[in-house]
Amino acid sequence: MSDLIIVGAGPAGLSAATIAADYGLSVTVIDEFPEPGGRMLGQFHEERGHWWVGKQIADELIEKNRAQGVSIRCGVSVYGMLKVDDMWEVSTSHGAMLAPRVLLATGAAEIPMPTNGWTLPGVMSIGAAQVMTNVHYVKPGKRGLIIGVNVLAMAIARELSVSGVSLAGIVLPPAGPFAGKAALPKENLQLLMGLSHLAPSPFLRLGGKIAKKLGMAGIVSSLFPRGGIKLWDIPLKLRTTAVSINGTDRVESVTLADVNGQGEIITGSEREEAVDFVALAGGLYPLAELASVAGCPFIYTPELGGHLPLHSERMQTPVQGLYVAGNITGVESALVAMAQGRLAAASICSDAGVFGHEGDSKVADAVDEVHRVRASALIQFHPGIPEARRQIYRMWQETFEAGV
pLDDT in tens, 188-219: 776 666 554 444 444 344 344 434 443 444 44
Q: What is the C-alpha to C-alpha distance for residues 280 and 392, in angstroms, rounded to an integer?
A: 31
What per-residue confidence (pLDDT) applies to 195?
A: 55
- Please give the residue that has the higher pLDDT: either 397 or 278: 278
Same domain, 327 and 383: yes
Same domain, 130 and 270: yes
Same domain, 293 and 362: yes
What per-residue confidence (pLDDT) applies to 193?
A: 60
Same domain, 274 and 288: no
Same domain, 11 and 102: yes
- Please give the residue that has the higher pLDDT: either 179 or 335: 335
| R_g (Cα) of the chain, nearest Å | 22
**Of the listed ranges 104-113, 148-157, 250-259, 365-374, the one predicted with least confidence:** 148-157
Average pLDDT over residues 159-166: 90
Among the listed residues 149, 151, 225, the one whose alpha carbon sits nearest the alpha carbon of residue 187: 149
Question: Is the model's pLDDT at 239 over the cut of 90?
Answer: no
**What confidence tier does 358 reach under pLDDT thresholds 50, 70, 90?**
confident
- Could you give the percent of the chain with pLDDT greater than 70? 86
Same domain, 144 and 34: no
Is 336 part of any domain? yes
CATH number at residue 132: 3.50.50.60
Same domain, 158 and 93: no
Among the listed residues 15, 291, 314, 273, the one whose alpha carbon sits nearest the alpha carbon of residue 169: 273
Q: What is the C-alpha to C-alpha distance for residues 105 and 348, in angstroms, rounded to an integer?
A: 14
Is 196 part of any domain? yes
State which residues form the domain around 243.
123-280
Is 404 part of any domain? no
Domain boundary among 259, 280, 301: 280
Is 117 part of any domain? no
Same domain, 316 and 207: no
CA dihedral (6, 9, 11, 15) positive or negative: positive
Mean pLDDT taken over the chain? 86
Contact (Cβ atoms closer than 8 angstroms) between residue 236 and residue 228: yes
Average pLDDT over residues 15-36: 96
Same domain, 304 and 366: yes
Expressed in angstroms, the distance from the first to the final Cα of the chain is 34
Contact (Cβ atoms closer than 8 angstroms) between residue 186 and residue 195: no
Average pLDDT over residues 289-318: 93
**Of the listed ranges 156-165, 280-289, 370-379, the one predicted with least confidence:** 370-379
Among the listed residues 63, 369, 367, the one whose alpha carbon sits nearest the alpha carbon of residue 55: 63
Is 115 part of any domain? no
Average pLDDT over residues 282-300: 93
- Please give the residue that has the higher pLDDT: either 33 or 380: 33
Average pLDDT over residues 244-258: 96
What per-residue confidence (pLDDT) applies to 402?
A: 60
Domain boundary among 225, 255, 280: 280
Domain boundary among 257, 280, 303: 280
Same domain, 134 and 90: no
Average pLDDT over residues 312-317: 95
Is 221 part of any domain? yes
Instruction: Tell me how many domains the chain contains.
Output: 2
Contact (Cβ atoms closer than 8 angstroms) between residue 297 and residue 318: yes
Is 263 part of any domain? yes
**What confidence tier does 116 reach under pLDDT thresholds 50, 70, 90?**
very high
Is 82 part of any domain? yes
Average pLDDT over residues 225-254: 86
Same domain, 394 and 293: yes
**Of the listed ranges 128-137, 184-193, 288-297, 357-366, the one predicted with least confidence:** 184-193
Same domain, 298 and 271: no
**What confidence tier does 263 reach under pLDDT thresholds 50, 70, 90?**
confident
What per-residue confidence (pLDDT) applies to 49?
A: 66
Give how far Cα 137 sits from Cα of 123, 144, 156, 185, 205, Å.
18, 16, 14, 34, 32
Q: Please, what's the b/e burial string for 276-312 (b: 16 or more CB within 10 A of its CB; e: otherwise)?
A: bbbbbbbbbbbbbebbeebebeeeebebbbbebbbbb
Average pLDDT over residues 125-134: 93
- Please give the residue that has the higher pLDDT: either 223 or 167: 167
Q: What is the C-alpha to C-alpha distance for residues 1 and 100, in angstroms, rounded to an integer?
A: 9
Q: What is the C-alpha to C-alpha distance for residues 239 and 215, in angstroms, rounded to an integer?
A: 19
What per-residue confidence (pLDDT) applies to 138?
A: 94
